[in-house]
Structure 1
Amino acid sequence: MSAAVPLTPEAGPPWLRPLLDNVDRVRDAYRRRVPPEVLATISAANTQAAIAGARRDAAVLVLFSGPHDAPAEAGLPTHATLLVTVRASTLRHHAGQAAFPGGAADPEDDGPVGTALREAWEETGIDTGRLQPLATLDRMFIPPSGFHVVPVLAYAPEPGPVEVIDEAETALVSHVPVRAFTNPENRLMVYRSANTRRSAGPAFLLNQMLVWGFTGQVISAMLDVAGWARPWDDEKVVELHDAMAMVPTDNGGPKQL
Structure 2
Amino acid sequence: MKRKTILITGASSGIGAGMAREFAAQGHDLALCARRTERLEALRVELQSAHGVRVSVRALDVTDYAQVFEVFEAFAAEFGSLDRVIVNAGIGNGRRIGKGNFEINRQTAETNFVAALAQCEAAVGIFRRQNAGHLVTVSSMSAKRGLPKHLTTYAASKAGLALLSEGIRAELLNTPIKVTTLFPGYIRTELNEGAGKLPFEVSAEVGARALVKAINREPASACVPKYPWTLIGFFMQHLPLPWVAKLGG
Decide: shared fold, TM above 0.5. no
Give the structure-2-normalised TM-score. Answer: 0.28
**Of Structure 1 and Structure 2, which has the larger fraction of its residues in strand?**
1
Give the structure-1-normalised TM-score. Answer: 0.28
